[in-house]
């Protein structure tokens, strides 16, 4: 009977430890994700403060606009050395190489 009780208490202890570990992992993961989001927003703010601009096609003409003003539907014209101001679809390109180290993701 004592063996059964010790087995049950061992399982209860193990279950409690697993629940505590799950809570710790959740809290750490959430804090890490929030820190990452803050960093991404700061990077976006840097683009705005530094006046980084993009060339887009509007009304059939190439127009230079602040990168934060690039909107859905804009066609962005990229040249060597340009920063990619937004997510998008590559419509045409020759010998494209992208340095993804400077790519910022904002959810």
In a shared domain, residues 59 and 31: no
Runs of H (alpha helix) within the chain: 2-49
Tell me, yes or no, whether 60 and 94 share the same domain.
yes
Query: Domain limits at 10?
Result: 1-35
Tally of domains in the chain: 2
**Per-position pLDDT tens, the chain of length 107:** 556 667 678 888 888 999 999 999 999 999 999 988 887 777 766 656 567 788 999 989 999 998 888 889 899 998 887 878 788 888 888 888 877 766 554 44
Residue that is written with structure tokens 């190439």 in the block:
62
What pTM was computed for the model?
0.46
Other Cβ atoms closer than 10 A to 54: 22
């Amino acid at each position: 009977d004592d063996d059964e009780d010790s087995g049950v208490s061992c399982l209860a202890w193990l279950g409690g430890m697993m629940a505590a570990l799950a809570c710790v992992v959740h809290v750490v993961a959430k804090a890490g994700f929030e820190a990452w989001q803050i960093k991404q927003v700061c990077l976006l703010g840097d683009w705005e403060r530094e006046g980084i601009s993009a060339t887009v096609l509007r009304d059939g003409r190439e127009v230079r606009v602040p990168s934060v003003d690039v909107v859905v539907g804009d066609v962005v014209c990229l040249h060597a050395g340009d920063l990619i101001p937004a997510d998008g679809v590559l419509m045409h390109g020759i010998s494209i190489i992208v340095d993804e180290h400077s790519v910022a993701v904002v959810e």
